[in-house]
Amino acid sequence: MTLIVQKFGGTSMADVDTIGIVADIVAATRRDHDVVVVVSAMSGQTNYLVDLARSLQSVPDLREMDVLLSTGEQVSMALLAMALKARGVDAQSFTGGQVKVSTDQVHGKARITSIGDTAIRNVLAQGKVAVVAGFQGVDQDGNITTLGRGGSDTSAVALAAVLHAQECQIYTDVDGVYTTDPRIEPNARRLAKITFEEMLEMASLGAKVLQIRSVEFAGKYKVPLRVLSTFKQGPGTLITLEDQQMEQALISGIAFNRDEAKITIMGVPDRPGVAFSILGKVADNNVEVDIIIQNTGVDGLTDFTFTVHRNDFRQTMDLLQPVVKELQARELNGDDRIVKVSLVGVGMRSHAGIAATMFKTLSDEGINVEMISTSEIKISVVVNEKYLELAVRALHRQFDLDQEPPD
Amino acid sequence: MTLIVQKFGGTSMADVDTIGIVADIVAATRRDHDVVVVVSAMSGQTNYLVDLARSLQSVPDLREMDVLLSTGEQVSMALLAMALKARGVDAQSFTGGQVKVSTDQVHGKARITSIGDTAIRNVLAQGKVAVVAGFQGVDQDGNITTLGRGGSDTSAVALAAVLHAQECQIYTDVDGVYTTDPRIEPNARRLAKITFEEMLEMASLGAKVLQIRSVEFAGKYKVPLRVLSTFKQGPGTLITLEDQQMEQALISGIAFNRDEAKITIMGVPDRPGVAFSILGKVADNNVEVDIIIQNTGVDGLTDFTFTVHRNDFRQTMDLLQPVVKELQARELNGDDRIVKVSLVGVGMRSHAGIAATMFKTLSDEGINVEMISTSEIKISVVVNEKYLELAVRALHRQFDLDQEPPD
CB contact under 8 A, B61 and A85: yes
Residues of chain A neighbouring B56 (CB-CB closer than 8 A): 16, 19-20, 79, 82-83, 86
pLDDT of residue A104: 96
Instruction: Enumerate the β-bridge partners of residue B201.
Output: none
Residues of chain A neighbouring B57 (CB-CB closer than 8 A): 82-83, 85-86
> Rounded to an integer, what distance in angstroms lies between the CA atom of residue B283 and that of residue B49?
33
* DSSP line for B202-267: HHHTT-TTS-HHHHHHHHHTT--EEEEESSS-S--EEEE---TTSPPPS--EEEEESSEEEEEEEE
CB contact under 8 A, B53 and A78: yes
Residue type (1 letter), A345: G
Collapsing DSSP states into helix, strand and coil, what is residue B101? Answer: strand
- State how far residue B40 is from chain A, nearest Cα, in angstroms: 14
CB contact under 8 A, B78 and A58: no
Q: Please count the other Cβ atoms lying within 10 Å of the Cβ belonging to residue B37.
A: 31
Cα dihedral A345, A347, A352, A354 sign: negative
Collapsing DSSP states into helix, strand and coil, what is residue B371? Answer: strand
Q: Yes or no: say if B79 and A55 are a contact pair by the CB < 8 Å rule.
A: no
- State how far residue A81 is from chain B, nearest Cα, in angstroms: 7
- State how far residue A28 is from chain B, nearest Cα, in angstroms: 18
- For residue A405, CA distances in Å to A188, A235, A245 come to 13, 17, 14
CB contact under 8 A, A83 and B56: yes
Helices A354-364, A388-398: crossing angle, 10 deg rounding: 130
Reading across the β-sheet that carries B371-375, which strands appear in turn? B253-257, B338-344, B378-384, B371-375
CB contact under 8 A, A75 and B49: yes
Residues of chain B neighbouring A65 (CB-CB closer than 8 A): 78, 82
Q: What's the topology of domain B3-173?
A: Carbamate kinase (3.40.1160)
Q: Yes or no: say if B180 and B188 are a contact pair by the CB < 8 Å rule.
A: yes
Residues of chain B neighbouring A78 (CB-CB closer than 8 A): 53, 64-65, 67-68
Residues of chain A neighbouring B90 (CB-CB closer than 8 A): none
Residues of chain B neighbouring A93 (CB-CB closer than 8 A): 64, 67
- For residue B149, CA distances in Å to A127, A336, A374, B136, B214 come to 33, 60, 65, 11, 11
Residues of chain A neighbouring B108 (CB-CB closer than 8 A): none
Q: Please count the other Cβ atoms lying within 10 Å of the Cβ belonging to residue A300.
A: 10
Locate the DSSP E strands across A83-189.
91-94, 101-103, 112-115, 129-133, 136-138, 144-146, 167-172
Please tell me which residue of chain A has the smallest CA distance to B90: A61
Residues of chain B neighbouring A71 (CB-CB closer than 8 A): 71, 74-75
Q: Yes or no: say if A149 and A103 are a contact pair by the CB < 8 Å rule.
A: no
Size of interface A-B (CB pairs under 8 A): 102
Residue B403: exposed, middle, or buried by beta-carbon count in 10 A (0-12, 13-18, 19+)?
exposed
Residue B353: exposed, middle, or buried by beta-carbon count in 10 A (0-12, 13-18, 19+)?
exposed
Q: Yes or no: say if B58 and B65 are a contact pair by the CB < 8 Å rule.
A: no
CB contact under 8 A, B78 and A85: no
**Cross-chain CB nearest to A68 (options B49, B78, B92):** B78
Nearest of B401, B374, B372, B362 to residue B250 by alpha carbon = B401
Residue type (1 letter), B106: V
Taking 3-state DSSP, the helix, strand and coil percentages for chain A, each rounded to the nearest 5, stand at 40, 25, 35
Please tell me which residue of chain B has the smallest CA distance to A59: B86
> Rounded to an integer, what distance in angstroms lies between the CA atom of residue A41 and that of residue A149?
12
- State how far residue A26 is from chain B, nearest Cα, in angstroms: 15
- For residue B71, CA distances in Å to B50, B136, B142 come to 12, 10, 16
Residue B97: exposed, middle, or buried by beta-carbon count in 10 A (0-12, 13-18, 19+)?
buried
- State how far residue B117 is from chain A, nearest Cα, in angstroms: 15
Reading across the β-sheet that carries A253-257, which strands appear in turn? A253-257, A338-344, A378-384, A371-375
CB contact under 8 A, B75 and A49: yes
**Cross-chain CB nearest to B67 (options A67, A74, A83):** A74
- Contact residues for A350 (Cβ-Cβ < 8 A; gap 6+): none
CB contact under 8 A, A71 and B75: yes
In chain A, positions 36-95, which contact chain B (CB-CB < 8 Å)? 49, 52-53, 55-58, 60-61, 63-65, 67-68, 70-71, 74-75, 77-79, 81-83, 85-86, 92-93, 95
**Cross-chain CB nearest to B56 (options A58, A77, A82):** A82
Instruction: For strands A338-344 and A253-257, give the pairing.
Output: antiparallel
- For residue B231, CA distances in Å to A12, A135, B25, B191, B192 come to 41, 38, 10, 18, 18
Residues of chain A neighbouring B75 (CB-CB closer than 8 A): 49, 52, 68, 71
**Cross-chain CB nearest to A56 (options B61, B86, B95):** B86
**Cross-chain CB nearest to A61 (options B65, B74, B85):** B85
- The DSSP H or E segment spanning B39 is strand B34-39
Collapsing DSSP states into helix, strand and coil, what is residue A9? Answer: coil
**Cross-chain CB nearest to A61 (options B49, B56, B81):** B81
- Contact residues for B181 (Cβ-Cβ < 8 A; gap 6+): B188, B207, B256, B392
> Rounded to an integer, what distance in angstroms lies between the CA atom of residue B320 and that of residue B326?
10
CB contact under 8 A, B56 and A79: yes
Task: List, for residues A84-121, the tens digit of each pLDDT value.
Answer: 999 999 999 999 999 999 999 999 999 999 999 999 99
C-alpha dihedral, A339 to A343 to A344 to A346, nearest 10°: -150
Reading across the β-sheet that carries B101-103, which strands appear in turn? B112-115, B101-103, B136-138, B144-146
Please tell me which residue of chain A has the smallest CA distance to B99: A142
**Cross-chain CB nearest to B68 (options A58, A64, A79):** A79
pLDDT of residue A299: 79
Count each helix (H run) and each strand (E run) in chain A, helices first: 12, 20
Instruction: Give the pTM.
Output: 0.84
pLDDT of residue A247: 56
Residues of chain B neighbouring A50 (CB-CB closer than 8 A): none
Across chain A, which distance is largest between two alpha carbons, in Å?
A: 78
Cα dihedral A379, A384, A389, A395 sign: negative
Q: Is A108 on the interface with B (CB under 8 A)?
A: no
Q: Please count the other Cβ atoms lying within 10 Å of the Cβ belonging to residue B399.
A: 22
pLDDT of residue B167: 97
Helices A196-204, A212-220: crossing angle, 10 deg rounding: 170
Domain residue ranges of chain A, discontinuous segments joined by +: 3-173
- Contact residues for B95 (Cβ-Cβ < 8 A; gap 6+): A67, A144, B70, B73, B74, B77, B133, B136
- Contact residues for B391 (Cβ-Cβ < 8 A; gap 6+): B341, B362, B365, B367, B381, B383
pLDDT of residue A2: 96
> Rounded to an integer, what distance in angstroms lies between the CA atom of residue B91 and that of residue B78?
10
Phi and psi torsions of A266, nearest 5° = -100, 150
Residues of chain B neighbouring A41 (CB-CB closer than 8 A): none
**Cross-chain CB nearest to A64 (options B65, B82, B97):** B82
Residue B361: exposed, middle, or buried by beta-carbon count in 10 A (0-12, 13-18, 19+)?
middle
CB contact under 8 A, B67 and A78: yes
Q: Yes or no: say if A147 and A211 are a contact pair by the CB < 8 Å rule.
A: no
**Cross-chain CB nearest to A64 (options B52, B71, B78):** B78
**Tens digit of pLDDT per residue, chain A (407 long)?**
899 999 999 999 999 999 999 999 999 999 999 999 999 999 999 999 999 999 999 999 999 999 999 999 999 999 999 999 999 999 999 999 999 999 999 999 999 999 999 999 999 999 999 999 999 999 999 999 999 777 999 999 999 999 999 999 999 988 999 999 888 999 999 999 999 989 888 876 555 677 778 888 899 999 999 999 999 999 999 999 877 655 566 889 999 999 899 999 999 888 877 888 888 888 888 888 988 888 776 778 888 899 999 999 999 999 999 999 998 999 999 999 999 999 999 888 777 788 889 999 999 999 999 999 888 889 999 999 999 999 999 999 999 999 887 65
Residues of chain B neighbouring A85 (CB-CB closer than 8 A): 57, 61, 64
> Rounded to an integer, what distance in angstroms lies between the CA atom of residue B315 and that of residue B89?
55
Q: Yes or no: say if B54 and B27 are a contact pair by the CB < 8 Å rule.
A: no
- For residue B312, CA distances in Å to B149, B206, B318, B324, B344 come to 20, 17, 10, 18, 26
Collapsing DSSP states into helix, strand and coil, what is residue A231? Answer: coil
> Rounded to an integer, what distance in angstroms lies between the CA atom of residue B363 and that of residue B131?
53
* DSSP line for B40-68: -PPTTHHHHHHHHHHHH-SS--HHHHHHH
Residues of chain B neighbouring A55 (CB-CB closer than 8 A): 16
Count each helix (H run) and each strand (E run) in chain B, helices first: 12, 20
- State how far residue B164 is from chain A, nearest Cα, in angstroms: 25
Series of mean pLDDT values for 10-residue runs along chain B (407 residues): 95 96 98 98 95 96 97 98 98 98 95 96 98 97 91 94 96 90 92 90 69 86 94 94 67 91 91 83 88 79 91 94 91 95 86 86 93 89 95 95 80
Residues of chain B neighbouring A100 (CB-CB closer than 8 A): none
- For residue A223, CA distances in Å to A193, A239, A284, A320 come to 14, 9, 37, 44
CB contact under 8 A, A92 and B63: yes
Enter the ipTM.
0.83
Please tell me which residue of chain A has the smallest CA distance to B97: A142
pLDDT of residue B368: 92
**Cross-chain CB nearest to B53 (options A63, A74, A79):** A79
* DSSP line for A152-174: HHHHHHHHHHHTT-SEEEEEESS
Mutate to test the interface with A, among B26, B55, B118 (most CBs of A within 10 A): B55
